Amino acid sequence: MAAALLLGTPLAGREAVAQPQVTSQRDIVYADYPTGPLHLDLHRAPGTKAAPVLVVIHGGAWARGQRPANWTGYRRFVQAGFAVLSVQYRLSWAARAPAAVEDIRCVMGWIARVAPRERLDPSRIVLMGTSAGAHLALMAGFIRPDDGLDPASCGPVPRAAAILDFYGPSDLRAESLGAWASPSIGKWVGTGDAGAAMAARMSPIMLVRRGQPPVFIAHGDADPVVPLVASTTLKAALDQAGVPAALHVVPGGGHGRSDPQAQDRLLAEAVAFLEQHRVIR
């Protein structure tokens, strides 16, 4: 059976990782809009030290999906000392771009505000997503405060320490997508000239510049939804800008579930990447 990658659900570590003891706080409101409040769940193991934070961003073409119901798919990170945040964001039917990006930036601001109380380390925020969630992780991690995408109500937003990109789109411009263009993009960024301008503004590859956080990329070479070129071109741009990056190509990998062993190997590589760049210390 061909290897595959996981879409929109937790990347599951298995037998190799011991079960830690974790306390969960659920349905915390981090922002409120006319369309309704936005929630996150905070999971962390006991400890007195300020923990690095893994922000988990679900996929679903910016239009569907929901935050993972539990933390168990991220136990490798919990064992490495991370607190895990699984987050809700506004989908395209509720608010178009750049709303979802603003929401992830607000989550980062929330972490900074509650850090002393919740024993979190806002200098070690890792953004992790699959598919559209990986796109949002890249956008939120690459944005700077002077890019004009941080809502004032969210407060100062700290810099991401690293980004874990699992087969995310890196360029939403129609001329770059070609045959891979998806109606989901138009539903999120809009159409016509304004939509084209927003697509460019929402393309992570347009934000690549020296000094960006390290990026771990995983992508299947048989992905029928987001082509591998989305990750190879991103990796090339990061290399040119001198941004630390690693690309793991999964032979035969598609855009869906994979066997547990393949998933766990990718997670182990992601953790090693964070250790290499001293996010885990």
Structural domains for the chain: 23-276 (3.40.50.1820)
Cα gap 132→127, rounded to integer Å:
13
pLDDT at 17 (0 to 100):
46
**Among candidate residues 56, 211, 242, the one with its CA nearest the CA of residue 144:** 211
What's the token pair of residue 18?
A: 């011991």
pTM above 0.85, yes or no: yes
Neighbouring C-beta atoms of residue 23, cutoff 10 Å: 10
Cα gap 7→10, rounded to integer Å:
8
3-class DSSP state of 161: coil
Neighbouring C-beta atoms of residue 186, cutoff 10 Å: 18
pLDDT at 258 (0 to 100):
67
Cα gap 251→170, rounded to integer Å:
20
Cα gap 205→241, rounded to integer Å:
11
End-to-end CA distance of the chain: 37
Own/partner pairs for 68-73, CB < 8 Å, 24+ apart?
68/9, 68/10, 70/10, 70/24, 70/43, 71/22, 71/24, 71/41, 71/43, 72/10, 72/12, 73/9, 73/10, 73/11, 73/12, 73/13
pLDDT at 19 (0 to 100):
64
10-residue block means of pLDDT along the chain (281 residues)? 42 50 96 96 93 98 94 94 98 97 98 97 98 98 94 94 98 86 93 96 98 97 94 98 97 79 90 98 91
